[in-house]
């Protein structure tokens, strides 16, 4: 067969033509059909290349007869068993032509064509799509089923690399989906294209399909009326355009397989046969097939050796080896312009791996090289897998990464485990299992070297719970220093740090000449100063570049979006807070601290000295200062997280406050087994915020407990309206509240008595004096929070939409447990949970931690458009300057205020008319009318004012509407 094969391939067109020639007898047609099938069946593996065009030409319905087409289709099907890899490579050419046969008017051609197409598609070599071959082929003959097949394909989780055979099979279906005119089908096509494109390892595999898919996506972005579906199409189009740039870049580097050059190389090495060139031509085609498949191992080229041996058996092995080397050099790509080239220095790691979290692929078949002493900045959008990659390296979960005995890695993060927060700084470090043999004096020496000294801002023997965020990061770095790492993995090392401490961290990392560092940071100055290399996660690949951040951005300008607040397509939306009864001006204080001092237990020196501040719905405050200056402590006092030793703290009874703490994850650390959606529904299940009641300021002291059980002379109105006085002990407060003049009264039940029908109400001042102040505040908080939840139901759908408003995709909001979320995603969860009750004041302590620049830009824009007050603690000066006009400067517990504290007064002194809520919508879309006040004419208002004033003078109780009117018009 070897000697005859070149000539059989040459005469295959004639044999196929005879199969359909009218002049051929029935017996001759049958013999020719069997012959063509046998030739293909016994052809050597890479001989397909020499006849593939012959088989395709035979499908021309205008030139070829039915018998010829049937014989060619049957021949193609045989290669799925004899040369599957070679057939897979040819699918780009074959599939479009066979697809025409499948819908031919001749039933027999349709039947054989469908069998051939199925056999051809069986060789795609993609495990994710193997089960879809039948439905995809069926979509050619049953276009009405495209919609259902697209649904099935959209449900495929793509894990395997996507190569040209898989793309050849799926592309016709995707084109039909894009052309369907059905919004859901077009959207699904875009999603599938995006998912598959991410897993294309070699851009050249996608080259034949870019011109087929991009026009359809462009049309979808212009014609889809549904904004969400159009957004999906736009996202996919952007990704495809980006992939197309890579395709063009690789095409510029690639050298095409040139048959003429290969034939010339063969002729130069072997004696020419006496034929017309058929033999050498066929050998050249086999060599070209091996070159196209990038098969340059000696074993594969034995197929060529069989043919060369016919011409020169003595030197065949030597000739083939020389030919193999020359052919490999013919297609060796040109050097890349990327600066990922070799660098001097010891190589710590050189591996290729795939990384997933649950069902989500983060990195796919991507290489990673690390050099000793290099400092790598790791870039990528939120949810791209930066933190997961570093954790996986630290945990030894990256395939091919060196064993910990060879390369020691340490993951540095500032979060303190809750169960260890009571330990001193020294004991906390010693608690690390990797430092069990460390000496206490060595730990103390390292802590001293980073600033933990007796009498300083942070003391080594004080509990870690007393540390500010900046000192927690320095503690984490000190612990890492003791472990003598080869590779330091630093997740946001400048989080919580002021300018001085950021400089200290930069100097420290630069000084580590023999230690490699991989760093995730959104601080562009830090990355520019420290980094020698940049690694970028983009479309499931890890790309490496030499140089710092600026040199990287010069080559990749689109990466500027990681670091510019302005350049963001992401948008957050905060719920409007709504009005507060009796508050007409946005600049009227809703929270106050007056003359407050605070000292942490165990400390002798106060953290806060004589602090007086106030916050209104007009406030845009940036709180700044060094680490340990007392910023977070002041906010904790203001929000009731802790209680000051001296001074007063006040909050308007109807004001709703959202507080996202500096160590934001403490809000959710006990609920990591819940999804974000489940967590928010649990937190607000009874109409109030469970978190707001778990505060030191809401826990009764011994003195308050004693006051509550001490009999006091109390006065209240009896059932007849007359004042009653008696010495009583209050057993409980029911939670009912009513408004009387300019105060609230709360229903109580006396000890040993039952609840009366008309209820017994006492005013807040009386209750505060006898130890019930905290219960009163709790009732006020519940009522205020319930008012914030009136216009939406605590349903899964509505919570999912709310989480989407702060940038958390539905997939992560409802289907992922919080333990599986990244730091940026967890911050979004905490923020969304705090915002659920539509707060009037939003307090954010270090909100920039863990959020990338795109999310920060969205956050800044949301704050700018928010109708309530905002207080921000941050070391990110760009973020604070964009959001805040007023500044609180903390210095060693002392406060200085500057800036425009009344800026909103001058812009809009009075409260804007709040948009009236006329309809409430529940979780099922049912709507009900909400009663609204009628606007009175001047004459009606004058008459109403007179009537209300008469009631006040006669000491007659006012209803809620009358009381609000009296308050607004100063009638009391």
Cα atoms in the 13 Å half-sphere on the side-chain side of 850: 24
Nearest to 252 by CA among 162, 337, 167: 337
Q: From CA 899, how far away is CA 402, in angstroms rounded?
A: 54
Question: Chain centroid to CA 62: how far?
Answer: 54
Quick one: which H or E segment has residue 525?
Answer: helix 524-530
- For residues 814-825, average pLDDT: 81
- For residues 402-424, average pLDDT: 77
Q: From CA 469, how far away is CA 414, in angstroms rounded?
A: 7
Q: From CA 797, how far away is CA 789, in angstroms rounded?
A: 15
Q: How many residues does the chain have?
A: 972
C-alpha distances (whole Å) from 725 to each of 692, 713, 753, 762, 955 are 35, 7, 16, 12, 19
Q: Is 547 exposed, middle or buried (0-12, 13-18, 19+ CB in 10 A)?
A: middle
Q: What percent of the chain has a predicted confidence (pLDDT) above 90?
A: 26
Which of 416-430, 587-601, 733-747 has the lowest average pLDDT? 416-430
Q: From CA 74, how far away is CA 400, in angstroms rounded?
A: 45
Residue 904: which pLDDT band, with cuts at 50, 70 and 90? very low
Tell me: the pLDDT tens digits for 846-868?
Answer: 877 677 767 788 888 888 888 89
C-alpha distances (whole Å) from 374 to each of 13, 95, 533 are 61, 48, 7
Q: Is 540 strand, coil or helix? A: coil
- Asked whether the predicted pLDDT for residue 909 surpasses 50, the reply is no
- For residues 151-158, average pLDDT: 78
Residue 612, Ramachandran bin (φ over 0: left; ψ between -120 and 50: alpha; else beta): beta
pLDDT at 785: 65
Are 891 and 625 in contact by the 8 Å Cβ rule? The answer is yes
Contacts of 649 (CB under 8 A, 6+ apart): 592, 593, 594, 596, 637, 638, 640, 643, 697
Token output for 466: 């007393």
pLDDT at 919: 45
Phi, psi of 190 (to 5 degrees): -65, -40
pLDDT at 967: 65
Q: Is 208 exposed, middle or buried (0-12, 13-18, 19+ CB in 10 A)?
A: middle
Q: Is 655 strand, coil or helix? A: coil
Question: Chain centroid to CA 737: how far?
Answer: 44
- Asked whether the predicted pLDDT for residue 118 surpasses 80, the reply is yes
Nearest to 393 by CA among 368, 374, 361: 368
pLDDT at 912: 41
Place of tokens 């607000």: 684
DSSP string, 166-182: HHHHHHHHHHHHHTS--
Token output for 289: 């097939």
**In DSSP terms, which residues pair with 379 in a beta bridge?**
536
Q: Is 478 strand, coil or helix? A: helix
Q: What angle do CA 449, 453, 454 make, to 5 degrees?
A: 160
Where b means 16+ CB within 10 Å and e means fewer, 876-893 reads bebbbebbbbbbbbbeeb
- For 198-340, where are the alpha helices, taking DSSP H only? 203-223, 227-253, 259-267, 278-292, 302-311, 316-330
Start-to-end C-alpha separation, the chain: 112
Contacts of 123 (CB under 8 A, 6+ apart): 79, 80, 84, 85, 87, 88, 91, 165
- Asked whether the predicted pLDDT for residue 655 surpasses 90, the reply is no
Quick one: which H or E segment has residue 31?
Answer: helix 26-42
pLDDT at 695: 54
CA dihedral 656, 660, 665, 671 (to 10 degrees): 10
CB neighbours of residue 812 within 10 Å: 22
Across the chain, mean pLDDT equals: 83
Q: From CA 392, how far away is CA 406, in angstroms rounded?
A: 17
Maximum mean pLDDT: which of 334-343, 445-454, 655-664? 445-454
SS3 content of the chain, % helix, strand, coil (to 5): 50, 15, 35
Tell me: the pLDDT tens digits for 472-525?
Answer: 878 888 888 888 889 999 888 877 676 777 888 888 889 888 899 999 887 888
- Asked whether the predicted pLDDT for residue 305 surpasses 70, the reply is yes
Higher pLDDT, 713 or 964: 713
Tell me: the pLDDT tens digits for 312-369?
Answer: 888 999 999 999 999 999 988 876 655 444 556 788 889 988 887 766 788 888 889 9
- Asked whether the predicted pLDDT for residue 33 surpasses 80, the reply is yes
Edge to edge, the sheet with strand 760-763 lists: 730-740, 743-750, 760-763
Residue 692: which pLDDT band, with cuts at 50, 70 and 90? low
Are 367 and 354 in contact by the 8 Å Cβ rule? The answer is no
DSSP string, 384-413: SSHHHHHHHHHTT-STTPPPTTTS-EEEE-
Token output for 195: 């998912």
pLDDT at 336: 60
Tell me: the pLDDT tens digits for 184-212?
Answer: 889 989 989 988 888 888 888 999 999 99
- Asked whether the predicted pLDDT for residue 269 surpasses 80, the reply is yes
Token output for 429: 């470090």
Are 516 and 375 in contact by the 8 Å Cβ rule? The answer is yes
pLDDT at 13: 94
- Asked whether the predicted pLDDT for residue 59 surpasses 60, the reply is yes
- Asked whether the predicted pLDDT for residue 450 surpasses 90, the reply is no
Cα four-point dihedral sign 779, 780, 781, 785: positive
Nearest to 865 by CA among 805, 788, 792: 805
Higher pLDDT, 260 or 158: 260
DSSP-derived secondary structure letter, 674: S
Nearest to 764 by CA among 777, 751, 783, 749: 777
Place of tokens 């197929």: 303
DSSP string, 47-108: GHHHHHHHHHHTT-TTTS-HHHHHHHHHHHHHHHHH-HHHHHHHHHHHHHHHHHHHT-SSHH
- For 838-927, where are the alpha helices, taking DSSP H only? 853-865, 877-883, 903-907
Are 584 and 968 in contact by the 8 Å Cβ rule? The answer is yes
Cα atoms in the 13 Å half-sphere on the side-chain side of 868: 25
- Asked whether the predicted pLDDT for residue 917 surpasses 50, the reply is no
pLDDT at 913: 40
- Asked whether the predicted pLDDT for residue 564 surpasses 70, the reply is no
């Amino acid at each position: 067969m070897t000697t005859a094969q070149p000539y059989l391939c040459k005469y295959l067109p004639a044999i196929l033509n005879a199969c359909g020639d009218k002049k051929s007898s029935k017996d001759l047609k049958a013999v020719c059909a069997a012959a063509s099938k046998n030739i293909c069946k016994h052809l050597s593996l890479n001989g397909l290349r020499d006849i593939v065009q012959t088989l395709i030409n035979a499908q021309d319905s205008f030139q070829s007869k039915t018998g010829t087409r049937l014989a060619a289709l049957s021949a193609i099907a045989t290669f799925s068993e004899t040369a599957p890899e070679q057939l897979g490579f040819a699918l780009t050419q074959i599939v479009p032509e066979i697809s025409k046969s499948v819908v031919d008017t001749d039933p027999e051609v349709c039947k054989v064509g469908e069998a051939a197409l199925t056999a051809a598609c069986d060789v795609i070599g993609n495990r994710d799509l193997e089960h879809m071959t039948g439905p995809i082929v069926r979509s050619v003959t049953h276009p009405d089923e495209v919609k259902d097949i697209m649904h099935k394909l959209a449900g495929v989780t793509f894990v395997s690399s996507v190569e040209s055979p898989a793309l050849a099979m799926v592309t016709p279906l995707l084109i039909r989906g894009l052309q369907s005119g059905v919004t859901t089908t077009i959207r699904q096509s875009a999603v599938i294209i995006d998912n598959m494109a991410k897993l294309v390892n070699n851009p050249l595999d996608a080259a034949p399909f870019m011109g087929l898919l991009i026009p359809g996506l462009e049309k979808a972005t212009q014609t889809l009326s549904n904004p969400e579906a159009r957004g999906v199409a736009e996202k996919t189009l952007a990704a495809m355009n980006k992939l197309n740039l890579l395709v063009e870049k690789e095409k510029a580097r690639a050298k095409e397989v040139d048959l003429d050059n290969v034939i010339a190389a063969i002729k130069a090495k072997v004696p020419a046969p006496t034929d017309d060139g058929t033999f050498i031509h066929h050998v050249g085609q086999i060599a070209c097939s091996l070159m196209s498949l990038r098969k340059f191992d000696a074993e594969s080229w034995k197929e060529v050796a069989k043919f060369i041996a016919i011409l020169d058996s003595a030197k065949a092995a030597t000739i083939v080896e020389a030919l193999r080397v020359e052919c490999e050099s013919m297609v060796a790509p040109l050097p890349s312009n990327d600066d990922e080239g070799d660098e001097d220095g010891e190589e710590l790691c050189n591996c290729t791996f795939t990384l997933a979290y649950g069902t989500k692929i983060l990195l796919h078949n991507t290489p990673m090289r690390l050099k000793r002493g290099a400092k790598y900045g790791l870039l990528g959008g939120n949810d791209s897998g930066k933190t997961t990659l570093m954790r996986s390296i630290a945990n030894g979960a990256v395939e091919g990464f060196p064993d910990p005995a060879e390369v020691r890695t340490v993951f540095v993060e500032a979060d303190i485990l809750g169960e260890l927060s009571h330990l001193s700084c020294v004991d906390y470090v010693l608690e690390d299992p990797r430092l069990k043999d460390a000496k206490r004096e060595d730990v103390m020496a390292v802590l001293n070297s980073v600033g933990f000294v007796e009498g300083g801002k942070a003391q080594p023997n004080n509990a870690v719970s007393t540390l500010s965020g900046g000192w927690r990061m320095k503690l984490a770095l000190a612990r890492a220093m003791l472990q003598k790492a080869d590779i330091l993995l630093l997740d946001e090392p400048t989080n919580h740090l002021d300018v001085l401490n950021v400089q200290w961290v930069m100097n420290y990392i630069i000084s580590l000449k023999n230690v490699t560092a991989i760093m995730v940071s959104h601080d562009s100055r830090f990355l520019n100063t420290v980094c020698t290399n940049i690694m970028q996660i983009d479309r499931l690949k890890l790309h490496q570049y030499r140089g710092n951040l600026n040199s990287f951005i010069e080559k990749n300008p689109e990466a500027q979006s990681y670091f510019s607040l302005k350049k963001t397509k992401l948008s957050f939306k905060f719920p409007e807070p709504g009005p507060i009864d009796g508050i007409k001006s946005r600049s009227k204080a809703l929270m106050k601290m007056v003359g407050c001092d605070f000292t942490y237990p165990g400390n002798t020196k106060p953290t806060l000295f004589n602090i007086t501040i106030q916050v209104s719905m007009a406030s845009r405050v940036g709180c700044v200062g060094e680490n340990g200056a007392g910023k977070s402590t002041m906010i904790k006092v203001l929000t009731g997280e802790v209680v000051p030793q001296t001074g007063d703290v006040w909050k308007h009874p109807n004001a709703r406050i959202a507080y996202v703490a500096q160590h934001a994850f403490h809000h959710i650390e006990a609920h990591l087994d819940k999804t974000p959606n489940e967590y928010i529904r649990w937190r607000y299940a009874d109409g109030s915020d469970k978190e707001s009641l778990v505060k030191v300021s809401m826990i009764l002291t011994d003195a308050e407990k004693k006051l509550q059980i001490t009999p006091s002379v109390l006065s209240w109105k009896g059932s007849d309206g007359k004042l009653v006085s008696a010495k009583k002990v209050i057993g409980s407060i029911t939670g009912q509240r009513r408004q009387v003049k300019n105060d609230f009264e709360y229903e109580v039940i006396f000890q040993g008595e039952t609840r009366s029908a008309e209820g017994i109400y006492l005013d807040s001042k009386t209750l505060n004096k006898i130890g019930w102040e905290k219960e009163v505040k709790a009732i006020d908080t519940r009522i205020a929070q319930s008012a914030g939840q009136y216009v939406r139901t605590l349903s899964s759908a509505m919570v999912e939409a709310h989480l989407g408003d702060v940038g958390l995709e539905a997939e992560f909001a409802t289907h992922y447990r919080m333990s599986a979320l990244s730091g940026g995603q967890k911050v979004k969860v905490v923020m969304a949970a705090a915002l659920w009750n539509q707060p009037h004041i939003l307090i954010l302590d270090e909100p920039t931690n863990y959020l990338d620049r795109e999310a920060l830009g969205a956050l800044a824009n949301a704050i700018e458009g928010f109708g309530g007050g905002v207080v921000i603690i941050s070391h990110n000066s760009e973020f604070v300057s964009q959001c805040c006009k007023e500044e609180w400067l903390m210095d060693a517990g002392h406060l200085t205020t500057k800036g425009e504290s009344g800026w909103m007064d001058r812009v809009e002194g009075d409260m804007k008319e709040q948009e009236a809520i006329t309809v409430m919508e529940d979780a099922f879309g049912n709507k009900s009318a909400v009663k609204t006040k009628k606007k009175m004419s001047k004459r009606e208002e004058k008459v109403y004012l007179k009537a209300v004033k008469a009631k006040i003078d006669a000491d007659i109780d006012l209803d809620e509407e009358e009381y609000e009117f009296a308050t607004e018009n100063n009638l009391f």
